[in-house]
């Protein structure tokens, strides 16, 4: 029973490139959440998705960031034209329903050089 799978674990991008982070939720989970953790900070909510729908994107920066959770395949967090300030750990979590606790993945550590 695999947990929440995120890949890649580490991603290095040059300024101006695109970063694509993937998240496969636990089997049977249809709720996916993305969080960002800056150095020495707690996790900050970015977006909550269900299959093919964005439910709450109140934590997403207005520009360059987008997320999707298609009918088939993993959820994708996409960051266009990355800047140094995007360097962080990005965590995905999934749940069976919105009422239950999350299961987090091990994260993708993005470094922008």
Partner 1 sequence: GNSVTQMEGPVTLSEEAFLTINCTYTATGYPSLFWYVQYPGEGLQLLLKATKADDKGSNKGFEATYRKETTSFHLEKGSVQVSDSAVYFCALRNQAGTALIFGKGTTLSVSS
Closest to partner 1 by CB, 15 or 44 = 44
Shortest distance in whole angstroms from residue 16 CB to partner 1 = 28
Q: How far is CA 107 from the centre of its chain?
A: 8
Q: Is 105 in the site for partner 1 (CB under 8 A)?
A: yes
Closest to partner 1 by CB, 81 or 98 = 98
Selected from 30, 59, 76, 111, the binder of partner 1 by CB under 8 A is: 59
Q: How far apart are CA 105 and CA 103, in angstroms?
A: 7
Q: Identify each DSSP E strand in the chain by its residue range.
A: 5-7, 10-13, 19-24, 31-37, 43-50, 53-56, 65-68, 75-79, 88-95, 103-104, 108-112
Q: Is 107 in the site for partner 1 (CB under 8 A)?
A: yes
Q: Is 55 in the site for partner 1 (CB under 8 A)?
A: yes
The residues, any chain, with a CB within 8 Å of residue 63's CB and separated by 6 or more, are none
Residue ranges in contact with partner 1 by CB under 8 A: 4, 6, 33, 35, 40-45, 48, 55-56, 58-59, 91, 93, 98-99, 101-107
């Amino acid at each position: 029973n695999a947990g929440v799978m995120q890949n890649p674990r580490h991603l290095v991008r040059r300024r101006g490139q695109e970063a694509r982070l993937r998240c496969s939720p636990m089997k049977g989970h249809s709720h996916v959440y993305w969080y960002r953790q800056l150095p020495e900070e707690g996790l900050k909510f970015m977006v909550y998705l269900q299959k093919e729908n964005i439910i709450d994107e109140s934590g997403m920066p207005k520009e360059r960031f987008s997320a999707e959770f298609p009918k088939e395949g993993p959820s994708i967090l996409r960051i266009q034209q990355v800047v140094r300030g995007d360097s962080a750990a990005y965590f995905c979590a999934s749940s069976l329903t919105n009422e239950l606790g999350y299961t987090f993945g091990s994260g993708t550590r993005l470094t922008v050089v």
